[in-house]
Amino acid sequence: MSISTDGQICFGILIEEDADFPWEDEEWDGDIEDWWLRGVHGYKPPFEMFDEYGEWIGGQRWPDEKREVYYRVKREFREAHPLPIELVNYCSAEYPMYIIAIPESCLTANRGYPKEFGPNLVDRDVSNWCVILKHFCKAYGIEYKGDPTWWLSSYWG
């Protein structure tokens, strides 16, 4: 077993270590995608395939055709309601600390696999990104200090 040590760059807002996120409520159990789709946008699956424990309703795997419909509907809803941010863990798997970032700004270099980047990533007008990040944090009660900026961080996973 090995531990990854990744380098990361992103444009975002550094969040304090003990910040509260709305997707950490018991209902969402830390699942930001479920919170975003169901909690914020009201997604409802076309039918229920799984019980409250994540087991197949009826006790056995559903037919391919039904599963394809179930996941296609969810995928189409997700594409129509994309999550406008990405959580970048800048600490470790055991002690996560986050930057709320713009997804298209995120670049990760895994140990042993360098990534090339240049001015095309960091020399751009980020004013719209600032608006998106600040609006997201305000809309969902996420406290932060400072303005959005570029962050170079590492992840020990």
Q: Give the start-to-end residue ranges of the domains of the chain.
A: 5-28+84-156, 44-80
Determine which helix (DSSP H) or strand (DSSP E) holds 120, and give its type and residue range. Answer: helix 119-122
Residue 26 has pLDDT above 60, yes or no: yes
The pLDDT score that the predictor gives to residue 152 is 95
- How far apart CA 93 and CA 22 sit, in angstroms, is 20
Sorting pLDDT into bands at 50, 70 and 90, what band is 93? confident
Residue 123 has pLDDT above 90, yes or no: no
For the whole model, what pTM was predicted? 0.87
Closest Cα partner for 36 from 143, 155, 145, 139?
A: 139
Residue 128 has pLDDT above 90, yes or no: yes
Residue 1 has pLDDT above 60, yes or no: no
Residue 122 has pLDDT above 70, yes or no: yes
Phi, psi at 27, each rounded to 5° = -60, -35
Mean pLDDT of 145-157: 93
- How far apart CA 135 and CA 77 sit, in angstroms, is 22
- How far apart CA 21 and CA 94 sit, in angstroms, is 17
